[in-house]
Structure 1
């Protein structure tokens, strides 16, 4: 599936306890959902990704991304509804976000800018049980900066699918960014990033701040 086939991009905030705490946020008692425009998607295929470097820090957030292949109905089996997975980055203009949060304003300017949703290659969805036991890692310049398993999520894959489907709807072409673990930090110009799933590189890019 290419970027043109993606419809809605749902993102889950604060779905890993340590990440919520590292940013000084409360741990939510239900999924915190926000969206990105489909124009935010850009492939992670060894390419250069241009990002705004003039509005403060740009933070990386590695996430498991789920692709929906069917129409959600109450009681749906999440494993049957999901037809693919990938690793992606929920890039965040952190200084912009902090100002928006202080004013109680929406996060769009901090989360939805162009190229803010780099996406690695699509993989077969292994099922929620296997997903939960597989480690995913973000490497920056050869150093592991984020490392986690889906079992660390506050709200698991099935809970996320049912919550988003019930409140907002889900259909073919929708994707869900499922939240990031601890370890987020500011990107630097020239950073080389690699996303690993089960020790296999499934996405890579070089950052160019402008």
Structure 2
């Protein structure tokens, strides 16, 4: 007999897959912070870089279909919303304590993503020594474009990554500059959490993060992957 619920459960969040009719169901989103040296420096960190990782629920994703422009509502409680362009790694096979040497066996594909940040709230929480989930984990904070399966993605981990706002360059770097590379990130995350099929890993953002306002159009690219276009409304 089918289960009954006291209210209708939310629909499964899913991302289109290039070349397939089947979609990628999202389980959880992990975000890696301070994973490009120049970004860590622009955020005021010097010396040894302490990389960070945290989790978001699937409903933070804003799924943008191929060739379309997604919309992100300017969030509440902030006057300083920042963009962060990132390579997203889609996990197809889960596991615990995955070694870096085996990590790529667990990757389904790659996509372009944005990790939107309420920077003022994040900075205030840091000053108080409190968790800064409120700066990161809000609705529509994780736009993502279509996923390209590994076999068709080329060398996404050595690709140029960039973001333009209203046609002007804001961020431009190369994924090869990650401090923790993708395999090391998977090793680290899987030691702390059991990764599941459907997990998305936002691998970190390069330098050039800055504020956006309602009306701005963001175009994010990782060479070889579908472009991600989002408008702030």
TM-score w.r.t. length of structure 2: 0.82
Partner of 1:62: 85
Change (3 A) 1:140 1:114: same
Q: CA shift at 1:5, angstroms?
A: 2.1
Partner of 2:42: 22
Change (3 A) 1:89 1:71: same
1:20-169 to 2 correspondences below 5 Å: 20-26=40-46, 31-44=51-64, 45-52=68-75, 54-73=77-96, 74-75=98-99, 77-125=102-150, 130-169=155-194
**Distance (whole Å) between structure 1 residues aligned to residue 83 and residue 161 of structure 2:** 14
Q: Which runs of 5+ in 1 are unaligned?
A: none
Alpha carbons 2:148, 2:225 under 8 Å: kept: no
**Paired residue secondary structure (1:85):** strand
Q: CA shift at 1:31, angstroms?
A: 3.7
**Distance (whole Å) between structure 2 residues aligned to residue 152 and residue 124 of structure 1:** 22
Size of the aligned set, in residue pairs, is 208
RMSD over aligned CA atoms reads: 2.3
**Distance (whole Å) between structure 2 residues aligned to residue 95 and residue 55 of structure 1:** 7
Change (3 A) 1:188 1:146: same
- With 161-170 and 127-136 compared, the bigger mean Cα shift is at 127-136
Bigger Rg, which one: 2
Q: Would you identify which runs of 4 or more consecutive aligned residues in structure 1 move more than 3 Å?
A: 26-31, 73-76, 126-129
Alpha carbons 2:27, 2:199 under 8 Å: kept: yes
